[in-house]
Amino acid sequence: MLDHINIENILFLDIETVPEVHDYSELDEAKQHLWDVKSNYMQKGELSAEDVYEKAGIMAEFGKIVCISVGYIQNQQDGKQLRLKSFYDHDEKELLSEFIDLLNNYYNTNRHLLCAHNGKEFDFPYVARRILINRLELPGILDIAGKKPWEINHLDTMELWKFGDYKHYTSLALLTHIFDIPTPKDDISGADVRRVYWEENNLERITTYCEKDVAATVQLFLRYKGEPLIADERIESV
């Protein structure tokens, strides 16, 4: 499976997002109304728009990116090495600008690919939307308007697992478990990112979590290809 793909041409990534402000009350009146309408489907039972605002980070129109972690594989004489790098900042425009520079400088040909778990439905469109909202220019690999499906250089480890099926979401945690991919025990989960950011102001903790997800995605991709996993000592954060 995936034998036709040169894994050294893939940039693996994961993003962490939070609501654009800490609390619903900090939104201006117009944005509150827009959130009220947008979040209507979440308001079950006696929940209000304010009650569900903690989920605003999943929507690019109401959230922001606080970390993008990437990973790339290098084939060396003594085996594969995984290098991880993260872009994180309270200033979203700054981290996006740095990420765009990486894509424009190193992932700018039709042989290069992006890969993420559930990336086609979340990471890739979210990043593209936030780039435009921040008045930045889309890098070529994210500018998919007018392209045919086979011209879009995006891979998705969740989509690959579907094999054309249309069933529900399959988590990265579940796939790493069934493929016997060892993962370090995390001290936070995706549900904790908003709290860790807005209440603890701990971007470094979020970045560590994000890099672990990138490494897990890489290992899952290797399992799909039937190749050995990369040993922990050959995973480096740069």
Does residue 97 sit in helix, strand or coil? helix
218/58 Cα distance (integer angstroms): 23
Two structure tokens written together for 182: 């060892």
Say if CB 12 and CB 72 are below 8 A apart. Answer: yes
pLDDT tens digits for range 44-57: 878 899 999 999 99
* Distances 171 to 99, 156, 168, 175, 217 between C-alpha atoms, Å: 25, 12, 10, 6, 11
Read out DSSP for 168-193?
A: ----HHHHHHHTT---PPPS--GGGH
208/186 Cα distance (integer angstroms): 9
Q: Tell me the pTM.
A: 0.95
Amino acid at 135: R
pLDDT for res 46: 84
Superfamily of segment(s) 7-20+62-237: Ribonuclease H-like superfamily/Ribonuclease H (3.30.420.10)
pLDDT for res 69: 98
Two structure tokens written together for 53: 């605002």
Residue-level pLDDT, tens digit, the chain, 238 residues: 788 899 999 999 999 999 999 999 999 999 999 999 999 888 887 889 999 999 999 999 999 999 999 999 998 888 899 999 999 999 999 999 999 999 999 999 999 999 999 999 999 999 999 999 999 999 999 999 999 999 999 999 999 999 988 877 899 999 999 999 988 767 788 889 999 999 999 999 999 999 999 999 999 999 999 999 999 999 999 8
Q: What ranges do the domains of the chain cover?
A: 7-20+62-237
DSSP at 228? P
C-alpha angle 81/161/62, rounded to 5°? 85
